[in-house]
Structure formats: structure tokens, C-alpha cells
Structure 1
Amino acid sequence: MHAEFIHEDRIAYFTMEIALRNEIPTYSGGLGVLAGDTVRTGADLELPLVTVTLVSRAGYFRQEIDAQGRQVEHPNPWDPGRFATPLEAKIAVSIEGREVWVRGWLYILKDHMNGREPVILLDTDLDENRADDREITHYLYGGDTTYRLKQEIVLGIGGVRMLQALGFSVRQYHMNEGHSALLALELLRRYAYSPEDVRSGESPYDIPRVRELCNFTTHTPVEAGHDKFPYDLVQRVLGDYVDLAVLKRLAGEDALNLTCLALNLSDFVNGVAKRHAEVSRQFFPGYRVHAVTNGVHPYLWTCPSFIKLYDAHLPGWCHEPELLVRADRIADAAIWGAHVEARNRLIEKVKALTGVGLHPKVPILGFARRMTAYKRADLLFSDLERLKSIARQRSFQLVLAGKAHPRDGGGKQLIETLHRHMHELSDVIRIAYLPDYDMDIALAMVAGVDVWLNTPLKPLEASGTSGMKAAFNGVPSLSVLDGWWIEGCIEGVTGWSVGDSAQSADGADAASLYDKLEHVVLPLYYGYAGDQAAWIAVMKGAICKSASFFNSHRMMRRYATEAYIR
């Protein structure tokens, strides 16, 4: 069943999470969605990839919001047998001194242009394993530190062995974040020198050979985003897998730092935006960190009305999204008509999910992302009286969405706070919070709102991709200058900045956000002297200058030429 994919050398793309489709909850947020966009684009461009991930049978979680605005988590299991085919090969990894067996499921990601890419989902839920080992691949980002280490052994070490067992010939390994960095240890063992060839004090492994094979994309400048494991735990769970002195030299003396390991054993390392690469070079001095700014998949993140519009005016746009630079030739009425269709679909979805009826003529601001402190979802609500004053002059509406990690108490509190503010503002501003944020809700929001908000604390937004998705649907961003928006913001052309490019300060950023909303964005939307053309010009700017560049096709062509072919 996988034989059609093993006739040529492939790039092995390793990722802890991936958004394959809405019904398969093997992703928690932006990292997984980006992984899905990466593989879809590989299919579009006929790049020979093979993706390795965990089956995550228990999914992430299904989110309910109770009457007090509290997040309630419900299990969200899925049956891989509905969407994937079991593979016959089984491999074993050593965990806590015993063999843990792993099998794979083959999911074939098919794109709209008939491209196909194999995705291997690793699964330990086998009769051969004891009960706790069967659950290693169940919970995405679940469990304690020991559980996470076991998962990363299965992903990295088990993934390399599974590809070999299935007959894949791998020319490069691409680690999407540090979760899969243990694959490099398996490669070290594969390229170990014979004992008689090793001189005293030299490495027993062909480290340069391993480096040639590995690429690493780091996604976070947040300290908590880098997995670290104490060496006593590593030795108990993984054993003496590689020489401990070498491991400490590669992964850190105090603890096994997977980001450090990946940096030291990868020939090509990149951040996901120019600013993020700069921050990463400061975070990890001495390493050469390239910048390959993220992009989003054109076809997946463009709503039906804009797909129809682009197909009619710019045929081939979804394979060559640079053609969107010509979108300014499309008539204003056609752009606006496509947007109204998308907006009406969002209004219907909001009504169905929350009962809130949005007004079809009042601008909608959208904010949706993982709910955690540094994303500052509450920045817009810093001064409720100021916000009410702005809304009384020129009314607007808000649609919010996002999940907090089950163990992120601050993120959960943020959701409660937002709901309290929604109640306090209800007499002036219509606000809806859509529960159980997923890919379908994301597309409805990025296409149906009029302005996309993003207010992270600088410099903690590595890239951000939601605003790129909005741009494909003619929706401009009102965002803090961090991540991709430093590159994408042309003031008044593609959207608007919040604050400046210096360090964030909540008070200054909130004041800037209110000023832009009150004096620039809302007056422009409502039209000076009834002129809507100026607003549509910004919509066209978002398409022509943001969507045409910040797409996954440009991103993957960069990876192909700079990382994969060398």
C-alpha cells in the first residue's frame, strides 16, 4: 500500500502534531496547522516528502464554555481506521529497559490538484505492549515529563526505524520543532565508528555525516517551548543509548535540551520569520540561524467565494500564488461581493454556535488563537470605557475563539476574563466567543471578519500565520509589529500596526490600538463622505502584497533550494 512512495529518495518531515483534516484531532494549534500546510504544499509542488507523526488516538480535546465562561475539556478520540490504513511493519524501541512495539498507519494526504503525500502515524496501542505503553501515543501534549520523553523516543527514534522498516530511502530529515530531535541520536548510532577506529578523546560517531542529513526549524522564542529532560530521567527511560559524554556535549551539560541537540546536529537551521531568526540568534549565540518566513496554503485557507473570484480572474493562482499581485485589477464590486458572501457565512455560523446575532452592516473584528498569556487576547479590553466610547461613535462587533491548554491555568483564566468583559460590554458591543476552535471555524473567521486583530507581547510571536490566512480573503490586519507582520505591514496598504517595533508595553500598545481603531480603521471602513473605495483598496493591498508572498508555496520552494538540495 505504501509501495508507490518508496521508488525515490524522500525528505522525511518529522512533527509532533499535524492538521490533516478537521475530523482528525492530531493538532493543537499553529504548529500543527503549519505542518499540514507544509505537506499539502509538498503535494502541490510534487516534492517527495514522507511525514512522520504520532497517531494521538485520544486527540487534543473538545472545548465547551460553561455559563460562567469557564473552559470545560471533553475527550476527543478518533479512530485511525476510518481515515488511514494499518501498515504491516512493526518496530521496537527500548523504554525503561523493555521493548515497546510500534506500528504505523498510512494516511495519504491528497491535495486539490491530485498530489499525494504519505503520512505515517506511529501507534503503540498494540497487544504486545503493557497497558501504560499502549497509551504513549494517545495524548497530544498530555501527561508528565516522563510521558513526553517516551513520546519523543517513539517519534524520533521509532520514526527513523519505521521508515527503514518500510523501505523508505531518506535523503534529508526535517525536524519541525525540537520534539523529534531524538531522531538524530538514532542517526548517530547508525553512523557510529567501529571501536578500533576511534582514537582516545574523539567522538565515536560520525557527527558531520549526521549533520549533513538534518534540517531543523525552530518555532518559539518562549523558554517553555523548548523541551528539557534531566539526565537521570533520560538514563532511566532511554538508558545508555549513546555515549553520555557526547550527549552532554551536544544537548547541554545540565539537562537534555532537545532544541540544543537539534541545533548541534543540523546543517540547516531556520527561524520562521526574519525577526524570529534574529531573536533565535540571540537566544542561541554562536549558531547560524537562517530565516524562512512561514506561509499558509493558498487553496485551503481561501474561502469559496474568493476561490471562485480568483479562478475567474487569475487562473493558476493556487499553484502560483504570486499571481495575486494582479488582484488590484479585479473590480471593487467583485471583491466586496466575495467578502459579503464570506461575512454572511460567518454570521450564520456565529448564530448557530452561540445564538448571537451579528449585524450584517456593522464591521466585525476577529481574534482567534491559542489562549495563553503572551498572546494578550485581553489587550483590547484594557480600558472598557474607552472601548465603549469608540463603539458609540462608530459601532463595531467582535468575534473571538481559542483554546487554552488544559494545564495552562493562566490561559483558562484569560477565557473567563474575556467572557466577563463580554458581559460588561454587552449593552454597547455585540461580542461572540466561538467554542471548540478548529480549522473550519478558523476559515470562517479569517474570511468573514472585516479586520484581523493580533496583539502578542513582543518578541514572543515567532511568526503567526492567522493574519496571512486573512489576507487571502481580502481581510487586512491590525496587529502588533512582531513575527511576520514586521515584514508584511505596509501601513494603510496591507493593514495597520499597533505600537512600534520596540519592546512591548501593555499600556502603550493598548493606547496605540485604541487610537488606530478610533481615528483610522473605523473611519476608513465607514467611508469618508461615503467613499468605500478606500477600504477596498486596503483589502486589495492585503491580497496583492501579503497573500502573494506569505504563502506556503514560496516557503517550500525556499526549503527545497536552501535546505533540501545541498
Structure 2
Amino acid sequence: MPHTPFVGRTRIAYFSMEIALRPEIHSYAGGLGVLAGDTVRSCAELELPVVFVTLASRAGYFRQTIDAEGRQGEQPDWWQPADWCRPLGAMTAVMIEERPVWVRPWLYLHEAPHGHAVPVLLLDTDLEQNDPADREITHSLYGDGNDYRLKQEIVLGLGGIRILRALDFEIRTYHLNEGHAALLTLELLNRSRIEPEDRIAGEPSYDVAEVRRRCVFTTHTPVEAGHDRFPYALFQRMLPDFVEIDTLKALAGAEQLNMTRLAFSLSGYVNGVARRHAETTQHLFPGYRVHAVTNGVHAGTWAHPAFAALFDAQIPQWQHEPEVLVRALQLGKDEIWRCHLAAKAELAERVQAISGTALDPDLPILGFARRMTGYKRPLLLFSDLDRLAQIAAERPFQLVLAGKAHPRDDSGKAAIQRIHQVIRQLDGKLRCVFLPDYDMALARILVSGCDVWLNTPQPPLEASGTSGMKAALNGVLNLSVLDGWWIEACVDGVNGWAIGTDGSTGTGTSDGDHAAALYALLEKTVLPLWHDDPAQWRRMMRQAIGSIAYYFNSQRMMRRYATEAYLR
């Protein structure tokens, strides 16, 4: 790649199916992509020698619409790579079903405030050289059907590693953010192949140890649906004779090609994204060592401008070194409250513009925004509508909700429809609004403008969760089930509240248990504190920033990856 000084120094390649670079670039679906985007931003600020590889995803994940009955609809969410990226001259081909599929990268440069930039390569197959069907491989993020998904993962894993070589990158370490890019390990495996004439009888055909030395794998989900599996017949049709099938079955599972297991087998460093998640993953995949690097968020991106200005004035260097945010414990409560009111006013303005609903600035706002799927339990708060209405009558509050269900997740779609039914049922009793098409731009406003951030996953299925970290950075108090990152952060009654127990004994984590605990907290603790003791509420806001934001940030996360995973 001519005239690009980062090629010579870059030694690490980070592969992710989705990366949230900016709201206008629709190459992300949710938390996995937002985490990858925060990784990009921190790598630039820390000047780490990393290149990022993802798909262009021209049609995005999808644009969510909600009809009059509360039913989710999906439309393509097109964006034009030429508006934000520049095409690179190099191309490479991967053979899929015995025909070449050409891949060209777009270059997006993310520049840190001090000027250092890191490259992001967005792989694109929408080229005139390709068959019309193959031009669509990089259109829809997480497209429908096994055939389409496997083609995407071939382009990401095999196409990505070959593009890096075509651009003269000399990569020493490959970081797989989830299993979608696991096929790159097979490309490395083929390069390590030991020819029969050079092998001693009985020795393996490949240098597995060399591949493992070069690969780092971060797994993000303990949910079965989150691990891609493909029939071997499909793999052999797509990539005939690419690798010895017996070898592949030994690495990726006897019955199906399990991309997570393949990544486990060929990565020398594997980690979960929180301590509890690493423990859960260790049980799911016995025989492998699973480290824990708890996720973090990019402080400079997710701090509301009012808080950013306050931090700039009183805690210099907070963006580059967020550890100094521990000094937020010295900030004045009234200053924090002033910043919060600015964020809350922006949220109220956006809610009014989107839904026509006017929020009351003098009442607390509870926020719930995440992927709408079963284990997130988006309906837990609505388990007993009479009880909820009674609580709201005694201690008024407001609800703002948002989130997308995967197009094939019928239960998630049903939850969205049920939420809209509940909104109508609670009309006049509890002000509640659902904001459609939840994205990075809306998330920035929600996580800073709410007073309480609600999270109700079914333990131990929350891998980490990062939206609550963003909320705490802005002084918003978490009200969350003890799962994922919150087990590590929660000091109950000091920087937020725990719903129920941590579930380590397997008891007290049913829907009924958690609903009862949630209602009791709202009725007896959270809402009374808001209404009756504003000084203590503001002290807790200060504690949330000082005891959470200083640690749960992507600068700390990337320093750990650099020292523990990349420098092995």
C-alpha cells in the first residue's frame, strides 16, 4: 500500500465481522461491533500497531420500523463506502464453489485527537468482476441462511488475510473478535503444511503450534445461538479440498464445523470478556484455558459533551488515561448534577422529536436499550403491570426503551410487540416510550440522559455488557442483575444496585425471583432515594463515575491485550 506509513510498523490484525466506526457507517449490529469500534479508537490513541479488518456491509444490519400494532419491520440500511473511505488498488480472490470471488478493500482511517491514525479495511465483493450473486456477499450484515453466512465468513477470514498480504502487511498476530473470522486459521494452517517428503512417519501434516502462536481469540457469548455451525457438506461444497477434512473435524467438531471450537483449537490465547463469562466459557469448552479481559468503553466517545467539558477542566488527561477518572470522587455534586441535566434535556428533546412524547424533567427516567432477545428478558419489568402501575402512582417515574430483534428472532419480535401493547395499557399510569431504530447515535444520548440504567439478563448468559459502563461514565446509576461486568463493578447501594443474588449457587435467578427483587428495589430503595434524598442520589452519581469509569474503559482493556495476548 503506497504512501501509508502504518504498513511498515503494523504487526497485529484485528478481525471482526462488525465494527461501529461512526453512526453514518452502518457496518455494525450491536454490542460486538460497538466494542470493536471502541477498540479502534483506543488503539489509535495508544498508538498500537494494529490494522482492523471487517466487511463493508453496504446494506447495514437493518433499519428498524415499527407499525401501528408494534410489529418490527426491517429495511436495508444502505450507506456508501465512497462517502467515508477510499478504495485501495489491491484485490484478491477466494475460490467459493470453484469460482473466483474477488475482494477489494476500502480504507477508513481513524485518527486520534493527537493525530495518530489506525487503518480499517472494509472488504467488498460488489465488483464488476464477480458473478451477480457474489457481488451481494458483503451487502447485508449477518445475512440470511447458512450459505450466505458461510460465504461472508470465507470472505472475512480467507479474503481478509490475503488482502493483508497483497497490501504488504507483515502480520505476526491475528486477533479474532468472535468466531466469524475463524477460517483465517485454516489459511495459516495451510501455509504451515509440512510436505510428506519432509515429515517423519507419524508426524502431523500441519504445524498447529505455529498457528496457535500467532492467533488470539476473544469469545463473546455463552449463548448457543451465538456460535456459528455449518454442515461439513456445505463447507466442502464451498471450499472443496481446502483442508484435510479429518484434520478439520478434529479441530472444529466431529458433527459440524463449529467456528468457535475451531478458533479455540487454533488460538494460543483465548479470553472471555468478563470474569464470570470466562468461568462460564471454561465449562462450555473444557480442556482449553480461558483468560478474562473484561470489556471497557471508550471514554472520549461516550462521555456527554457536558461531562467531557467538566472532565477537561478538572481531570486533565482523562481521555488518554481514564484511570485518572477515579478523581471524579472529588468533583462537586452540584457540578455533576448540572452536567446530568444537560444530558437529560438532550434525551427529552430527542424523545419528543422521535415519538411526540414529552418527558417530565422533574421525574426520574429509567432506560432499557439493548438487543431484544429472550435471555435479555426485556419483559421482566412488565411481569406485573398492576404492581408496576401502583409503584409509579406512589413514586412517579418514566421509561424509555429501545432495541432491535434479529429478523429471524420471532420471540424477540414478539417481545417488542408486547412492549407496545404494555405502553398502551399503562397510558395515563406510567409514561413509557419505545424509540425505534436503536443505533450508535441514539445510544450516546440514551446512556447519558437517563437517571437509571436497567439490565435484566438471565444469568449466566450475559457475557459482559457495555451499555451500563457508558451510563456510569455519565453518572447514571445501574440497576442490574448480577451478571457479566456488573459482578465486578457493583458496590450495592454505593454506585448502583444489584437485582437479586449473583446466581453462583444456581438459586434466586428465576424470572419470578428477579421480578420480585426488581419491584422491591424500585418501590423501597431506588425511587424513594430519588424523590426524598437528592443529595445522596448525587453522591451515588459521583461514586458511579469514580468507581466504575476509571477501570471499565477500552484503554485499560487494550493495554491488557497488548501485554498479555499480543506480547506472548
Q: TM-score, normalised by structure 1?
A: 0.98
Measure, in 1, the Cα distance between the counterparts of 2:541 and 2:523. 19
Measure, in 2, the Cα distance between the counterparts of 1:122 and 1:379. 40
Partner of 1:3: 4
Any idea what the Cα deviations from partners look like across 1:536-565, whole Å, max 9, x if unmatched?
Answer: 111011101111110001100100000001
What stretches of structure 1 of length at least 5 have no aligned partner? none
Partner of 2:195: 194
What stretches of structure 2 of length at least 5 have no aligned partner? none
Partner of 2:555: 553
Partner of 2:68: 67
Is contact 1:274–1:292 with CA below 8 Å preserved after alignment?
yes
Partner of 1:213: 214
Partner of 1:275: 276
Residue 111 of structure 1: CA displacement? 2.8
Partner of 2:510: 505
The answer to whether structure 1 residue 542 and structure 2 residue 547 are counterparts is: no
Any idea what the Cα deviations from partners look like across 1:507-552, whole Å, max 9, x if unmatched?
Answer: 000000000111010111112xxx4221011101110111111000
Measure, in 1, the Cα distance between the counterparts of 2:434 and 2:5. 45
Measure, in 1, the Cα distance between the counterparts of 2:81 and 2:3. 16
AA aligned opposite 1:47 = L
Is contact 2:10–2:51 with CA below 8 Å preserved after alignment?
no
Alignment of 1:161-560 (within 5 A): 161-502=162-503, 503=506, 504-527=509-532, 531-560=533-562
Is contact 1:122–1:137 with CA below 8 Å preserved after alignment?
yes
Q: What is the percentage of aligned positions where both structures have the same residue? A: 60
Measure, in 2, the Cα distance between the counterparts of 1:135 and 1:62. 18
Any idea what the Cα deviations from partners look like across 1:381-413, whole Å, max 9, x if unmatched?
Answer: 000011011111110000000111111111111
What value does the CA root-mean-square deviation take over the aligned residues? Answer: 0.9
Residue 198 of structure 1: CA displacement? 2.3
Residue 96 of structure 1: CA displacement? 0.5
Any idea what the Cα deviations from partners look like across 1:427-471, whole Å, max 9, x if unmatched?
Answer: 111111111101111011110000000000111100000000001
Measure, in 1, the Cα distance between the counterparts of 2:227 and 2:489. 27
AA aligned opposite 1:489 = C
Question: How many residue pairs are counted as aligned between the two chains?
Answer: 563
Measure, in 1, the Cα distance between the counterparts of 2:89 and 2:419. 49
Measure, in 1, the Cα distance between the counterparts of 2:256 and 2:222. 19
Residue 201 of structure 1: CA displacement? 3.8
Any idea what the Cα deviations from partners look like across 1:22-81, whole Å, max 9, x if unmatched?
Answer: 011100000000000011100010001100101111111111111111112122111111
Measure, in 1, the Cα distance between the counterparts of 2:113 and 2:273. 26
Any idea what the Cα deviations from partners look like across 1:335-382, whole Å, max 9, x if unmatched?
Answer: 100000000000000000000000010000000001111111110000
Measure, in 2, the Cα distance between the counterparts of 1:406 and 1:2. 42
SS of equivalent residue, structure 2 residue 123: strand
Measure, in 2, the Cα distance between the counterparts of 1:142 and 1:247. 25
SS of equivalent residue, structure 2 residue 21: coil
- Runs of at least 4 residues of structure 1 off by over 3 A? none
Alignment of 1:105-120 (within 5 A): 105-120=106-121
Residue 283 of structure 1: CA displacement? 0.3
Partner of 1:565: 567
Any idea what the Cα deviations from partners look like across 1:75-118, whole Å, max 9, x if unmatched?
Answer: 21111111111011110111011111111111111233323110
Residue 2 of structure 1: CA displacement? 5.9
Alignment of 1:52-63 (within 5 A): 52-63=53-64
Is contact 1:203–1:246 with CA below 8 Å preserved after alignment?
no
Residue 202 of structure 1: CA displacement? 2.7
Measure, in 1, the Cα distance between the counterparts of 2:202 and 2:175. 30
SS of equivalent residue, structure 2 residue 89: strand
Measure, in 1, the Cα distance between the counterparts of 2:156 and 2:199. 30
Measure, in 2, the Cα distance between the counterparts of 1:467 and 1:9. 33
Is contact 1:2–1:106 with CA below 8 Å preserved after alignment?
no
